Homo-oligomer: A and B are copies of this chain.
Amino acid sequence: MRYFEDLAVGQKARFGSYAVTREEVLAFATKYDPQPFHLSDEAAAQTHFRRLAASGWHTCAMTMAMVVEDMKANATASLGAAGIDELRWLKPVFPGDTLHCETEIIEVKPSERRPERGSFLNRMTVINQHDEPVMTFIARGMIARRRPAA
């Protein structure tokens, strides 16, 4: 199990492989983001997307699926995430794309109030099969300490 004490600025990881299907893009958009360019190639052709593109929130959800799968493979004493900073949708995500994740820890900090935990900032980059970053964000994670701070 990986605890606060095991984290260090500069640690990198690469994981995940998510095949984006047309069926799933349409199902997510129909329920949560029914803007025309997320629902048909014809409407998307009128926009800078040029063809059917996934909702940005769908890309977030697919990314989370990869993160949870990685957490299962590499057990971490995670206490969840308090939030997300600087989320940017850089390129459209299309049906047929395959996405993966690259992360880097950019800050590690003991909690001032709670000796049994700490926090960290994890920079996420989601990348498609052409090695193009399609989305980036910084996750504010919380994690348990192996031993409470003195």
27 A-B pairs with C-beta separation under 8 A: A28-B61, A31-B61, A32-B62, A32-B64, A32-B65, A33-B61, A33-B64, A33-B65, A34-B65, A34-B68, A35-B68, A35-B71, A55-B64, A56-B81, A57-B57, A57-B60, A57-B61, A58-B61, A60-B60, A61-B61, A82-B88, A82-B89, A83-B86, A83-B88, A85-B85, A85-B87, A87-B87
Task: Closest B residue to A62 by CB, please name it.
Answer: B32
A residues with a Cβ closer than 8 A to B are: 28, 31-35, 55-58, 60-62, 64-65, 68, 71, 81-89, 137
The answer for the CA separation of A85 and B65 in the assembled complex, in Å, is 21
